[in-house]
Structure 1
Amino acid sequence: MKLFRILDPFTLTLIITVLLASFFPARGGFVPFFEGLTTAAIALLFFMHGAKLSRTAIIAGGSHWRLHLWVMCSTFVLFPVLGVLFAKWAPVNVDPALYTGFLYLCILPATVQSAIAFTSLAGGNVAAAVCSASASSLLGIFLSPLLVGLVMNIHGAEGSLEQVGKIMLQLLLPFVLGHLSRPWTGEWVSRNKKWISKTDQSSILLVVYSAFSEAVVNGIWHKVGLGSLLFIVVVSLVLLAIVILVNVGVARKFGFSKADEITIVFCGSKKSLANGIPMANILFPTAMIGMMVLPLMIFHQIQLMVCAVLARRYKRQIENMQQNQASA
């Protein structure tokens, strides 16, 4: 029962989807049906992302350029460098696709909703978090596929200009169309955020089901045992710890306020499941995706649990600082 209280409902649904695909994978004529449905769902997902983001949220942030610059460096430089070094080191004899999966995880943009939510809970700079997380998500549509072509080809993974063009067509075009539709859809989107959130989650679940169905047919559970799952958990914890420590060190070294430090930690240490799984569906062969997204799925849950603990700790620190200032 404790496990069910720790895991958020969406993560539980993800686990159920993986189990469903493991026991009842899509086969035969259902495969093209789910592929078409998944493509349509992903297009809708990014159309809604574009419709949700205001022009101000996309271009704002000039007043906190140092904070935003570091968050982008943490997301698109620090993480990828760690991923490349780890993939080259390859200390444990596991399926090479897991190393590729961690490398892919490291080049993804940050989350938006959870980064802002944890920043708010901890008492950080919420306005800066909105700008940084939104900018990271937007830049990720451009940078992540380019980094796949640049970085992952070094390790033999597939990535080409053709795939970059494909992801621009399937992700960027719906995003731009969604944003351009804001004068007509903006008010409706604001009123139906809960329904749109369900659409986001449904799109991800469809991709996960399709990917794991293909992976099960190709024998993923014969390749990934408890040892491999433990390996993913340990590496995720170490990777997250390194990035958080570097972010805290940079924030304090360069004199950021405590509120800005909180924003840097929560925006600079997250990786987006919502962007990562649809991108993987476009960038990689279906047979690879199940193994590739395992590190991302596990890292996503670990980052939520760790950041929840950190947010509560930061909140206590902020409250103690305020009490000390009041009594001084």
Structure 2
Amino acid sequence: MCRTSAKRILEIDTFIMNKSVLKKIWNHPITNYLKGQWFFYCLAVFIVIARFAPNFARDGGLIKGEYSIGYGAVAWIFLQSGLSMKTNVLAANLYNWRAHLVILVISFLVTSSIVFGFAAAIKYSNDPLIDDWVLIGLILTSTCPTTVASNVIMTAEAGGNDILCVCEVFIGNLLGAFVTPALVQLYTSASLFKYGNPASGGGIAALYRRVIKQIGLSVFVPLFVGQVIQNVWQRYTQIYLNFLKKYHIKIGSYMLLLIMFNSFSTAFYQHSFTSVSHVCIIFLCFFNLGLYLFFTGICYLFARPWFIIKIFKEKYDDNSSKLYKYSYKLFRPFYYSKEDTVCIMFCGAAKTAALGVSLVTAQYADDKSNLGKLLVPLVLYQSEQVIVASWCVPLFKHWIEKDKKVSLDAESSLVTNSQLTIHDESSLDSRKQ
């Protein structure tokens, strides 16, 4: 009997010890880092599924990806945004015309002109391993508006101004229906890329209808519904948001995985990755990576130009000239806060695949023989921008919180000094008495 009891006690002690070791391993910093990379593990699984079963989630496939994911997943992201954003703050960001102007100029004009220059240089090199239609695909990718999902999610996770990001998604993608085809016509009218000119009037008309319908149903309507629910049922909305926060439920990230699953499924079904050489794919991977980092740097320079701070060091006062006063009011707001800068960096460098595929397909409605090659740069750029952006999130978050920490330290120091002053004054009074 004693032996049996001793054996059981030993088993219990061993079990507790093993459990303690496992708990220690589970909470180890390296394990926590690996757990934090769950998004990439899931993305790899979805890419494998898309490779071997592309018909499941592709546009027009088994689950009708263009509707169930292209509308449903995107709508859920913006419904979530509508539930969590205060209406007055959303309206204030909607009228932030300076930020919208900067992002739109970068997204449509700066990025496309730079990529056009690179594409022209590559074309002049006459490298037979780089397909000519892939270069057209690069130009098409650069003319697309900002993405509809990943930038909102990444901006929110980094602590940036995600409300401004939502406004930009709506404005940028709505304008993209008109600006993107015009830019494509402009760049492909050059003799160097004349072979890639879509020149499809019927395709453009269908494109406008499709984009306006998709933006309306997947962005505007769910955002509006979310705002109504938030203002009418505030208590229940807060309970729902607290539930998501408590259990670390990241709906935006889950929906983003589905959007990328749909993009890869459509690309694999259209033989996008097998229609060009392996060398061309490798080139695109490194080229897109360099482009995204380069555009992110450009966005930072546009968002925080050093010369504005040099010129307008101090706020105007009664002694300032009228020229300085009005110049300060006009130009000083172009030097953005860190929160707005993070939004600009994520929005300006990103390109949409959710709407980009529709933009490309509609423009080449008359001839889809090279559609697979055209989509390769777009699909690869989307996946790489999500990966690189997720790496940037902790860096941007640390950058934003650094100022907040300094501000809190300054406030606590001020409070401490005030308390010491009060204490000294009270001590002085007591001595006088």
TM-score (norm 1): 0.75
Deviates more, 1:34-43 or 1:266-275: 266-275
Determine which structure has greater relative contact order: mean sequence separation of CA pairs < 8 Å that are 6+ residues apart, divided by chain length: 1
In structure 2, the residue matched to 1:145 is 177
Residue 216 of structure 2 is aligned with which of 167, 172, 175?
Answer: 172
Return the index of the structure with the highest Cα Rg.
2
5+ long unaligned stretches in structure 2: 1-29, 124-129, 189-196, 313-330, 362-370, 415-433
Shift in CA distance, 26/299, structure 1 to aligned 2, threshold 3 Å: closer
Deviates more, 1:176-185 or 1:82-91: 176-185
In structure 2, the residue matched to 1:126 is none
Paired residue total? 315
CA RMSD, Structure 1 to Structure 2 (Å): 4.1
Deviates more, 1:173-182 or 1:199-208: 173-182
Structure 1 position 60, deviation (Å): 4.1
How do 1:152-231 and structure 2 match up within 5 A? 152-156=184-188, 160-179=204-223, 181-182=225-226, 191=240, 194=249, 196-197=251-252, 198-216=254-272, 218-220=274-276, 222=278, 224-231=280-287
Structure 1 position 235, deviation (Å): 1.9
CA offsets, 1:68-125, max 9 Å, x none? Answer: 32321232112322222213312445530452254145654682232123126xxxxx
Whether 1:100 aligns to 2:139 is yes
Shift in CA distance, 207/322, structure 1 to aligned 2, threshold 3 Å: same
1:83–1:102 CA contact under 8 A, matched in 2 = no
How do 1:72-91 and structure 2 match up within 5 A? 72-90=100-118, 91=121
Shift in CA distance, 17/154, structure 1 to aligned 2, threshold 3 Å: farther
The alignment partner of 1:26 has SS state of coil
1:51–1:185 CA contact under 8 A, matched in 2 = no
Deviates more, 1:223-232 or 1:53-62: 53-62
5+ long unaligned stretches in structure 1: 121-128
Letter in 2 for 1:76: L
Structure 1 position 160, deviation (Å): 1.9
- Percent of residue pairs bearing the same amino acid type: 8
The alignment partner of 1:42 has SS state of coil
How do 1:294-309 and structure 2 match up within 5 A? 294-309=380-395
Whether 1:44 aligns to 2:72 is yes
Structure 1 position 200, deviation (Å): 4.8
Letter in 1 for 2:114: F
Shift in CA distance, 202/189, structure 1 to aligned 2, threshold 3 Å: farther
CA distance in 1, matches of 2:178, 2:122: 28
CA offsets, 1:120-142, max 9 Å, x none? Answer: 6xxxxxxxx24312211222341
Deviates more, 1:184-193 or 1:162-171: 184-193
Name the structure where helix makes up a greater proportion of residues.
1
Letter in 1 for 2:383: M
Whether 1:289 aligns to 2:375 is yes
Shift in CA distance, 248/273, structure 1 to aligned 2, threshold 3 Å: closer
Deviates more, 1:240-249 or 1:287-296: 287-296
TM-score (norm 2): 0.59
